[in-house]
Each structure stands twice: as structure tokens, then as C-alpha cells.
A and B are shown apart, each in its own frame.
Chain A
Amino acid sequence: MLSKKDLLGLNDVPKEEIELILDTAVNMKKLLKQGVKKLPNLQGKSVITLFYENSTRTRMSFELASKFMSAVAANISASSSSVAKGETLIDTGKTLDSMCTDVIIIRHPVGGAPALLAQNVKASVINAGDGMNEHPSQGLLDMLTMKERFGELKGLKVAIVGDIKHSRVAKSDIFGLTKMGAEVNLFAPSTLMPSGIDSFGAKICSSREEALSGANVVMGLRLQLERMKGGLFPSVAEYHEFYGINDSHLKLADSNAIVMHPGPVNRGVELSSSAIDADVSLINEQVKSGVAVRMAILSLLTKK
């Protein structure tokens, strides 16, 4: 059981509840690996994904998680609903509430939008990514992947390299990992490093070497190519040369280090192809963790 109606961000989830979600997800993942894709946990519940931004894996992952647990699941995309006619978020939420929705999973370009929705609906709200704020289920699936590999999160050294500024994944990872006792090193061009991020327990590194040295986890973040138009970096080639990660950089990390990335990956930009395809790359394992973690979240949030 979780203490709150909603899952809006890892910042306000207590450590014990993060542990509960991860432990529950470990079991879910075992069942998935055994081929079990029908559990009764959400029988009689309805789950709606309300996405104001494009998504493939997060949306699919939530949808499958719902269906694997016997929920009725439906999708709304901003482009195909009355959102395009200018309905407010609150009105949309109240409409979904009136349809007896138990869980609304929202992705939105503005930080705080899930919180606004949550304040105005009876349904549980799960944040599936809001602007530059948080992406808690991604943070949890990253932690699950690390925990399964290393046994515990405490004391792990995690290097996150890439566009930290626009990354809600980095935010949720930082909030979650530091709460669980891991160290987080950050490296990015100054134009893609948000101000004051070090006040939340992460360390800003001044070189790739410093960030990666001795790391147990090397995580790349997707570089959105439209940032180049905003002048935040000059070219993909220059970005890769100075901020990308290839095999030789991985040698700086701990000998047992793993490679992670929230996807979708730009091959040859934030990570070289060989780093993505390396044996130590757990990028596909993250996707599997994603379904399990979302099953755990849905199950715990709807448990009375």
C-alpha cells in the first residue's frame, strides 16, 4: 500500500515505499519471465493513458502492465480528443472521473500538470513524464534494473551523461537514487546542465573522465536533436566527440559496470553503437523492468 493517492514524482515518495515498489516489481518480473501474463490484481479497474506528448515504450508498457493484470485499459492522445478543441486539463480530468476511471496515466509537456490533474480528480494519477520535472516510473525501472544486477542500490556509483537540463528521467533518477544511498555523478555541456541541480545531492563533474571513473552504472540520456536549433550545442559530431560515450570511455568505469539508457537511443550520438550493443548494456533489460515496475505501481496504487 502506498500512502498517497497518486504517483507524481520520486521526490515525495518515502524510501520505504520505493523499496516496497521495487520488491513488488521483482516478483512481477519473475512472473513475467515465467510467461505469466494474466494476473487478477486490477480486475474490475479501469486505466486510461492520457498522453499530451508522443511516446511508444512508456505508453505501451503501461498499457501492457494494465492488461496483464486484467484491467480495462483505454488510451487518449491529445491530438485525437477534445483537447485539440481547447478543453482544459481539469475539465478533461473531471470527464474521465465521471467515466469511473480508477487510474489516469498522464504525460504532459508542462511540469506540474499531473499534480494539477491529481488535485482535481478522484482517480489515482500516475505521472508518465511532465515537462522537465519527473518521470517516476522510469526512475523506478532504472533502480530495479540496477538493484537486480548489484543486489542493492546503497553505495552504487551512477554516472549520468547527456542533456540533464531537459531530462525528467535524470531528475527522477537523482531523487530516487540519492534517497536510496547511491552516488550520482552528472556530466553535460554547461548549456545542458540545469542550475542548482547539485543542491539535490548529485555531483556536477567537470569531465567525462571524472564522471565515469569507478562508476558502476553508466547512463546516457537522449539528446533531442532540436536542441541544436536552440543553439545549445553546435553539431551532433562535436557533441559525440566531447560528450558521447564509446568503448574506451567505458574502460574508465568499474570493471563490472553496466550501460543504461532510457531510450530511444540516437546511435552514435550519446552512446556509440558498440556501447549500446555491448554485453554490459542492459538497455533492453530496462524495458522488461519497465513493465514489471508499472505492474507493481498499478497494483499498489489500486490496492485498498
Chain B
Amino acid sequence: MSKLLIKNGTIVNSNDTYVSDILVENGKIVKIDKDISISDCDVIDATGKHVLPGLIDLHVHLREPGLEYKEDIESGSKAAVHGGFTGIACMPNTKPVCDNAVTVGYIVNRAKEVGLCKVYPIGAATKGLDGAELAEIGKMKKLGAVAVSDDGKPVATGQMTRLVMEYAADFSIKLHAHCEDKSLSGDGVVNEGKYSTFVGLKGIPNVSETAGVVREIAIAENFNKEVHICHVSTKESVDAIRQAKARGVKVTAETCPHYFTLTDEAIVNFDTSTKVNPPLRAESDRLAIIEGLRDGTIDAIATDHAPHHVDDKRVEYAYAAFGITGLETSFALSYTKLVKENGFTMSKLVKLMSENPAKIINVDGGKIEVGECADLAIVDLGADWVVDKTKFYSKGKNTPFDGMKVSGQVFATVFGGKIVYKEDKIYG
């Protein structure tokens, strides 16, 4: 019988914030009260710190099976708990593609062996991500898939998108849509605008994403199905989602810390760690993303954690892989940019990083209450620190945030009532 007592932390839920102790027994929260005193158990002194429901990330690339030189389930899980995440949903663009129950089962089992956090596989929407035939969505759901996606690219056609939305709904899961009109993106590698012209790299216009978003919304609306929009980066996408929600379309959306932290100005030195799809956009887009998060148009912050080996990035910009590693900077960037600089409350942040993500994939978590699973992130909001990619647990050091000063640091992560991370140490 394992017990854990978290003393004197400020508990943050999406609807309230208060100072209290939390007693955990057998992985569950059994008591929340002031001055719980109990002997013979582990204690975390959370005085002056904030206790959040464990963060949940809807969009992570764990690269296993097949691309373990970039990341694997173990290194990705370590990175997750280092970043305060107790649940991560992983995308199916592995080798082989996770488009079948066997691979879903493998990921679930391997994640359990590692045992640091929950890993929720997202299955491919179509076989091989090819957009031609439906993947075995029912079988994948049965083994633990929480959503389907052809992420990395859009579901190839409008017709296939319709079929995926309809069929997935039969199994109570939905499409997580990578929205992009590939013909508009061409072989672009950065946002189209004055900075793409300045550096002479091919541009990807805003409408490349927005045209995709509008298509997914229109199909979901026509057939009255749910859709979740991945990694929103443009002002026009935010507008389209806002209008769709007002009409009652069953649409949810996520964005990523890099879209509300950086702009395409960051590309001027050809630093390939800034290469990501969708690309870093203009300041007007960055501001619109923040407003979209504020007014609830965008429901969740996901990382699109896309770890790459250094060899995939130490090449000419156009040849470098797309992607930013994100699990270990997400909380600090979100706290710094949204709470400190833009007046979001901690409750709002919990909603964006835990409660809403849990709802979108229909899993437990997102609140601190008696009876809930003890998945918690204990954070020190007073800590100012400098991002150092060499300290990442992720194999992917591809971050444009290295050396950036940020505020808010994960102090400890509790998963299933067990301390899995505390003060720079992982406890496996």
C-alpha cells in the first residue's frame, strides 16, 4: 500500500484555485484537506508551488517503432514527465505506420513497461497514411487508439475525409486533422512573406493551412460529425474555427507553443531548428492565436513534439526535416507567454493543457478531485530559467528555444500516485 502526501500546494483546477494538502493512496486521490497529517508515507513539500492536474499532450511523435534513432517510447516518456505531462497521444507516422491493431497494441504495452506516463496511440486514418483505404479503425480503437489521423499530411481527398469522419464516429473516436492544401504548399519550407523573400527560401502561404481547415469544417458540418483541427498556425484558421463554433459545428482545435511564441522572423539565420510544418507565421498570426486561445476558439495546447536526430537538421534548410521538439519547453513557454505576458489565469492554462485535451480524446484526467487518478504536475511559477537543450531527456535536441529565458518550471510529476520526476531526476 503506497501513500503519498503533497503538502501545502496551491491546487489549480479549471474552475478554482486553493491551498491544500493532497493525500494519495493506491494511485488515487483519497483526501484533499488542510493540514493532513499522516506518518509513514512519502511527502512532497509543495509550499509556494502550484499543483496542476497532469498535463496531457494531444500531439506527440514518439518515433517508435522504426525511427528509434530520433526518439523512442522510453526517451519520449522521460521527456514527457520532465515537462509535467502524464498523458501523451502519439501520432501514427512511424515505420511501419501505426495503421493496425498490432502496432497500437505494441505501443500501449511498451509504454506500460516504461511506466512513466500514459501513452495514447492515435491510429492512422487510412492504410499507410496513403489516403486510399480506411485503416482498421475499429480494431485499433479496441486496442487503445484514442483518435485517428494521417498527420504529417492531410487525409488525401475530401471524399476520404468524409468516410473517415463517418466511420470513426461509429467507434466514438474522431479525426485529428492535419489541415493543408498540398498544392498551395508546393515545396515550400517557411512561411510565405517578407522573410521568405528575404532569405530566398520557398514559402508556404497561410491559405495552404486555412483551405484545409475550411474543408474539414465543411465536411464535418455537412455530415454532422466531429473533427479536431491540429496545430493551428494562421489568423484565418482561427477565424474559420471561431465562425464554425458559432454555427454549432462540432469542431475542436489545438495550437502549439511555437505558434504563440515565435514568428517567421526567427528564420533569418537559416537555423533549421525553426523549420516546422505548418511554418512559424507572422506577428499578426501569433497575436490571433493568442486571442483564439483566450476566447476558447482554440481548445488546447499541444506540442507537436517532433524529435529529430541532429543529422536530419544539420543540412541545408530546404533539406532539413520539419519539426520542433516540444515536451520539455511547453509548460514554461505557455506560462511565460500566456499567463505572464498575456494575463491568462492558471485555471485557464490548466483547461488548455489538461482538462480540454482529456475531453477531446475522452480519457481520464484534467482535474484534481477526490477519487481521481493521481496524475499531477507540481510547478514552481517563481523559477526563472534558461532553456538548455543538452538537459532534455528527449533524443531530439531540435529546438529554437535553446538559450531562451523562461519562467515557470516543473518541480515534480506524479503519475498513478508515484513520483516519476522530481528536481532533475527521473524515477522509473
Chain A residues close to B by CB (< 8 Å): 11, 88-90, 108-113, 115-116, 130-134, 168, 171, 194-197, 199-200
Contact = CB atoms under 8 A, between A and B. Distances in A.
B318 A115 contact: no
Contacts of A113: 316-317
Given A111-B270, A112-B199, A132-B201, 5 more contacts: A88-B315, A111-B201, A130-B200, A132-B200, A196-B198
B31 interface: no
Q: Secondary structure at chain A's binding surface: helix, strand, loop or mixed?
A: mixed
Contact of B201 (A89, A90, A131, A199): A131
Contacts of A88: 311, 314-315
Contact of A111 (B194, B311, B315, B318): B318
Interface in B299-342: 311, 314-319
A98 to B, nearest CB: 18
Contacts of B316: 89, 108, 110, 112-113, 116
B200 A195 contact: no
A185 B192 CA distance: 22
Interface in B106-136: none
B203 A195 contact: yes
A90 B314 contact: yes
Contacts of A196: 193-198
B245 interface: no
A171 B194 contact: no
Contact of A110 (B196, B269, B319): B319
Contact of B197 (A90, A109, A116, A197): A197
Contacts of B203: 195
A134 B197 CA distance: 11
B242 interface: no
19 contacts: A88-B315, A90-B314, A110-B318, A112-B200, A112-B201, A112-B270, A116-B315, A116-B316, A116-B317, A132-B201, A134-B200, A168-B200, A194-B196, A195-B192, A195-B193, A195-B194, A195-B197, A196-B196, A200-B194
Give the interface centre of B193, B197, B203, B311 by most chain A CB atoms within 10 Å. Answer: B197
A194 B201 contact: no
B202 interface: yes
A89 B199 contact: no
3 smallest beta-carbon distances between A and B, as pairs: A196-B194, A133-B200, A112-B270
A133 B199 contact: yes
Contacts of B193: 195-196
Contacts of B199: 111-112, 133
A116 B199 CA distance: 13
Give the interface centre of A111, A171, A196 by most chain B CB atoms within 10 Å. Answer: A111
Nearest to A108: B316
A168 B201 CA distance: 11
A195 B319 contact: no
Nearest to B190: A111
B318 A200 contact: no
B196 A195 contact: yes
Nearest to B186: A230
A199 B318 contact: no
Contacts of A110: 201, 316-319
Nearest to A113: B316
A186 to B, nearest CB: 12
Contacts of B195: 196
A111 B192 contact: no
Contact of B315 (A89, A131, A132): A89
Interface string B187-228: 000001111111111110000000000000000000000000
B200 A131 contact: yes
Contacts of A115: 269-270
Nearest to A174: B197
A167 B195 CA distance: 15
A205 to B, nearest CB: 17
A104 B194 CA distance: 29
A290 B193 CA distance: 32
Contacts of B200: 111-112, 130-134, 168, 171
Contacts of A199: 194
A4 to B, nearest CB: 14
A111 B317 contact: yes
A194 B197 contact: yes
Contact of B318 (A131, A168, A194, A197): A131
B62 to A, nearest CB: 26
A171 B195 CA distance: 13
